[in-house]
Amino acid sequence: MNVANENQHWISQHLLKRFKTEGAPFQCYQVDSGEWVPKSLDRTCAADGYNQLLVSGEADNTLEAAFSKVESGLRNTFRTLEAAATRPMTELPESVYSNLCWYCSFLKGVAPYSKPGAVVSFIVQLNMELENGSNSLLRDLNVPEETVREMRRQCAMGRKVIIESENLLQLLYRFQFARNYRGDYSQFLSTKWAVFNSPIELPMSDVGLVPMVLETPKANHYLLPISPNLLLEGIFFHDLSKNSSRAVVRGMDLTQDEAVYRFDCICASAITEVICARKLSNVSEARTRAKADGTRFCKIPDPKRITSSGLVDVGYGNFVFRIVSVEEYVKVVHSYMLPAN
């Protein structure tokens, strides 16, 4: 039964518990103020109705239900990864590897940056298709051909197209998740994974799975702390021939410098807060150091809008396309997400 506005996590409680000291709250470093705030498990990386789609007062929690099914297998998955950290190479059982890849897909899809990111990627892809003549997104939306022709004509004249709807943030988040999560799962199946033993205590970012891009080699790089001293790391090469086709994970040890670099990246990726088992004195220093080293993440202008968007009814209205100037297009995109630089 769907319950409207129930408390929902975007990082599973099972993973969060692995960072929590029994009998003590989490210590959460606040990015904006630099203060430390104690939080219970229920209040950490969670918000009322975060994953729901509220339509005329009725809650659709199918996304939350699917997330919970993946979460049910995590205990065994993390236990297996812990053992893999002690060996040079481990071939994972198919069920464990599938659960790992599905969980990373969900973390990527439900992270706080995914909501504004969904709006931005949607608008950018829409305009690219109008300009280059492709129609993948337009076909999924069942946009009438005469409407497409007119939008293409306007784009050819240097204009841009934006989209408007009731609670666009939550509506496109759900729409883009449905379009992308199977593709993300396929990518993670081909990702090269390793579990690193860290010589220093690691926190967790409120984005969960930390996404990065490596310029050399060209690859997507993912960081996911799975305990204060264990880090799951994945690399997916843009040159597909370099990726893995086996369900294997390496076990390795980080040097002090390697661990500090990853500590900095985790801290710098946080949108609102860095979650720790106890107060770590070097979180602020790590964020400053990451910035000085050129580690950048996109910025979210209004984080509170992200966590509260699930409480806003989307109504029954359809998408409305609007032709705007390039300046207004940029303003709309930046109202959801600012570039790293």
Residue 189, both tokens: 């199946």
Write the pLDDT tens digit of every residue in 112-131: 999 999 999 999 999 999 99
Alpha-carbon separation of residue 166 from 31, 78, 172 (angstroms)? 30, 40, 10
Write the pLDDT tens digit of every residue in 139-194: 888 888 999 999 999 999 999 999 998 889 999 999 999 999 999 999 999 999 99
Q: CA–CA separation, 75 vs 66, rounded Å?
A: 17
Is 16's pLDDT higher than 70? Answer: yes
**pTM score, two decimals?**
0.94
3-state secondary structure 6-41: CEEECCCHHHHHCCCCCCCCEEEEECCCCCEEEECC
In angstroms, how far apart are the furthest CA atoms of the chain? Answer: 63
Residue 332: the pLDDT is: 96
Q: CA–CA separation, 321 vs 16, rounded Å?
A: 41
In the numeric block, the tokens 């007119």 are attached to: 150
Residue 323 phi/psi, 5-degree rounding, is: -85, 130
> Could you tell me the pLDDT band of residue 136, with boundaries at 50, 70 and 90?
confident
Tally DSSP H helices, then E strands, for the chain.
12, 16
The amino acid at residue 16 is L
Residue count (the chain): 341
Q: CA–CA separation, 332 vs 172, rounded Å?
A: 15
Q: What percent of the chain shows pLDDT beyond 70?
A: 99
> Could you tell me the pLDDT band of residue 214, with boundaries at 50, 70 and 90?
very high
Mean pLDDT of 274-296: 95
